Amino acid sequence: MNRHLRMSATLAAALSLAACSYQQSLRHPKLPPLVPIDLTMDCRQIDLALDRADTVRWLIRDDGGKLETSGHRAARYAGNAIVIPISLISYFPTYIPDGGHTVLNAADGRIRELLQLKRDRGCSPRATALPGLDDLALLVELEGVQAQLDGDRGQESELLERRTTLLDGLRVVPPLGASSH
């Protein structure tokens, strides 16, 4: 019992430290999945929506957001089961946050849906920051990774890392100062 408590406490402390690298510079909005009205977008609007969703995702990543594995999530829940009651008793309410997983996962999901809509509409692909890969080719890879994640196949941490790498390179962004506003 003591050993379990010590392990949970150590894990909670480690997770707290890991979560310190995620600091919101401004509140991160949680992007919603596509709704029926979104399905009426034309190609230009889809690309614009992709730019917006990708920017939200970039903000989360730039502020240190990361995806967490199911193992990390379970450890965080266990840690919170200890941390929250203790913090409430000591009049300093706190908890172990998810390191941006929820908002990042939502952004990833919306981008994937937008790319699928773009493919279904037959829109022209755009270049990505990944060599030899346009955004529709990136979608094919992304869907492969997601299928493995959904089917519990492969190493979850590696798959999440692959998904993150792919989406980090989705867009070629012109350097600041190259425009007129």
Which residues of this chain interact with other proteins, rule CB under 8 A?
Answer: 25-29, 31, 38, 48-49, 51-56, 58-59, 62, 173-174, 176, 179, 181
Cβ-based nearer residue to other proteins, 143 or 169: 169
CA–CA gap between residue 97 and residue 99 (Å, rounded) = 6
Q: How far is the CB of 122 from other proteins (least distance, A)?
A: 22
Cβ-based nearer residue to other proteins, 131 or 175: 175
Cβ-based nearer residue to other proteins, 110 or 163: 110
Angle formed by the axes of helices 43-62 and 101-121, to 10°?
160
Q: How far is the CB of 81 from other proteins (least distance, A)?
A: 27
The residue behind tokens 């965080």 is 76
Q: How far is the CB of 164 from other proteins (least distance, A)?
A: 17
Q: How far is the CB of 40 from other proteins (least distance, A)?
A: 12
At 134, is the secondary structure helix, strand, or coil?
A: strand
Q: What is the CA radius of gyration of the chain?
A: 19
Query: DSSP letter at 127?
Result: B
Whole-Å CA distances, 72 to 67, 96, 108, 175: 10, 11, 19, 36
Cβ-based nearer residue to other proteins, 2 or 180: 180
Q: How far is the CB of 24 from other proteins (least distance, A)?
A: 9
Cβ-based nearer residue to other proteins, 22 or 79: 22
CA–CA gap between residue 43 and residue 54 (Å, rounded) = 16
- Would you say 96 and 17 are in contact if contact means Cβ atoms under 8 Å apart? no
